[in-house]
Structures are given as structure tokens and as C-alpha cells.
């Protein structure tokens, strides 16, 4: 499968700190494609951490740890919102209507980064993650407008 350089760099920017994006990348990637790529990356990260047939009871303790790890930066993180996003990507399509689209995007990127960075991936691992996430993005392409409307 061929991957667009813009898509690979965008997904890599969700998962790693040191990825720079061209200033016009969002002009070339549509809003729907952005949301699909974000959803694909989120699904790939969450499924890697919490296998789809695994125990959902492991999510809340992880979210509490995540809020401690990243909440130390001075930003207040809402554990129930993070947990709702993780459960949504695992198939519970009752994502709270009270979540703002920008909140969903920001917290999704945080979740992706948190999970992927745990393994301290090298360039090859980040590239493999990007390719898997982009392949999964197509599943979300047709449903992405419901997240941002």
C-alpha cells in the first residue's frame, strides 16, 4: 500500500514529539480525512494497549495514571472524558454529546501519544504504527463527520 507523505507525517505527529509538519499540510488533508486518520491512530494505539477482547476494567486505572502523568504539566485533564474516548474507539458508540469536537481531538492526540510513547519507539516502530493507523483510517472515513458535527 502507498502512503501519502502528508498522512504519514500527520499520524507520526500524534505519536512522537519531534515530528514537524509542513505549514500547509491541513490544506492538503481534508477535515474528514484528518478525523479518519486520528481515529485510525487512536484505534491502533488503544487496541495495542487494551486488546479488543480484553478486560475493560483495566481502562480506568490506566486513565488515572495517565492523568497523573500528564496532569503534572499544569493542565487539568478530565479522566471521565479520556475514558469515554477510549471506550468509544473500542466500540461503545455512546460518546458523550457534551464533549466538544476540539476536546475530543486534543484528548485523542494525548491518548495516542501517551500509549505510543510508553514503549519509547524508534523511527521504525513509529513508521510501522503510522502505516497500521493509516490502513485503519479507511474504516473511519465514512463515520468521521459524526465526531465533528
CA distance 106 to 122: 24
Handedness of CA 29, 32, 33, 34 (dihedral sign): positive
pLDDT higher than threshold 80 for residue 146: no
The per-residue pLDDT for 47 is 93
pLDDT higher than threshold 60 for residue 34: yes
Q: What is the mean pLDDT of the chain?
A: 84
Structural domains of the chain, count: 1
Distances from the Cα of 146 to the Cα of 39, 72, 99, angstroms: 12, 32, 12
CA distance 107 to 114: 10
pLDDT higher than threshold 60 for residue 147: no
Average pLDDT over residues 117-144: 86
Average pLDDT over residues 51-72: 84
The domain of 56 spans 5-148
CA distance 125 to 129: 6
Amino acid at each position: 500500500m502507498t502512503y501519502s507523505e502528508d498522512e504519514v507525517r500527520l499520524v507520526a505527529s500524534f505519536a512522537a514529539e519531534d515530528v514537524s509538519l509542513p505549514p500547509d499540510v491541513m490544506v492538503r488533508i481534508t477535515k474528514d480525512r484528518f478525523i479518519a486518520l486520528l481515529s485510525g491512530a487512536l484505534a491502533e494505539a488503544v487496541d495495542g494497549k487494551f486488546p479488543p477482547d480484553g478486560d475493560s476494567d483495566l481502562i480506568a486505572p490506566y486513565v488515572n495514571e495517565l492523568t497523573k502523568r500528564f496532569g503534572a504539566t499544569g493542565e487539568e485533564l478530565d479522566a471521565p472524558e479520556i475514558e469515554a474516548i477510549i471506550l468509544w474507539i473500542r466500540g461503545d458508540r455512546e460518546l458523550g454529546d457534551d464533549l466538544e469536537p476540539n476536546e475530543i481531538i486534543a484528548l485523542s492526540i494525548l491518548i495516542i501519544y501517551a500509549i505510543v510513547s510508553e514503549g519509547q519507539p524508534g523511527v521504525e516502530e513509529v513508521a510501522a504504527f503510522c502505516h497500521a493507523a493509516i490502513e485503519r483510517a479507511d474504516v473511519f472515513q465514512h463515520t468521521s463527520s459524526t465526531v465533528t458535527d
